[in-house]
Amino acid sequence: MKWKEAAIVLLDPADRVIRDAAYVWRERYSIPTERSFSFRYPPGRSLAGQPPLGFKPLEPGSLSFSSLGTKLIVVSHGLPDGLALQRTILGSGQVAKLLAVCGLKEVGLLAFKGCLIGKGAFLDRLVAHLSSRDIGVGWLIGYKDVSRTQTLILDTPASGPRTYGYEAIGTMDLLMRNATEKLPDAERVKIVKGNRFVVPPGGASRRYGAQATWV
């Protein structure tokens, strides 16, 4: 399933695990630099004050281009209560504020690539906080378990590393993917309908259908 366009936000570039995962997703969806955003490297790093190769700084207004045809991928560590950024947990209200500051007005799919984001009520609460800021969202999705990214760096051109990889959820999913195919969505992810009516590309499907939770 392909959305009109995909964009990516990397929240913790200093963490190699998260950074490598972001490159995997960026390569998989062929996301260009103009729609790849990241926080800057923190002080004390060799690239302090700069974003990773192939990413633009995440700044006020960066996401103003997004529409209900956009899939926005957010890459970070996660917990059931929110996004884990170094020693800070960003709850649903803080994430909504961050997205608003970055210019987000509407998005078709908000996809969180981080552990346990779909385990609790974070996604449900986030819809309410986005609604209070008049930000339209069609769908939200997050993993129910610990995610494991298999990564192979192919080469490193000027636009950033080219990678091959995939993400598995928990040990069983990882074993199944190595042997055959991934576990069904019902065991891997939580899907929440947002505050805007959005028909995903290709029409209704088993993923974006009756099994999703209305908010």
Q: How would DSSP label each residue in the chain?
A: ---SEEEEEES-TT-HHHHHHHHHHHHHTT--GGGEEEPPBPTTSTTBTSPPTT-EE--TTTTTT--TTEEEEEE-EEETTEEEETTEEE-HHHHHHHHHHTT--EEEEEEEESTTTTTSSHHHHHHHHHHHTT-EEEEEEEESS-EEEEEEEEE--TT--EEEEEEEEHHHHHHHHHHS-PPPHHHHEEEEE-SS--PPTTS--SSSSTTSBP-
CATH architecture of 5-193: 3-Layer(aba) Sandwich (3.40)
Domain spans in the chain, listed from the N-terminal domain onward = 5-193
pTM (two decimals):
0.81
User: Mind listing the pLDDT tens digit for each residue in 133-190?
Assistant: 999 999 999 999 876 665 555 556 666 666 545 455 555 444 444 444 455 556 679 9
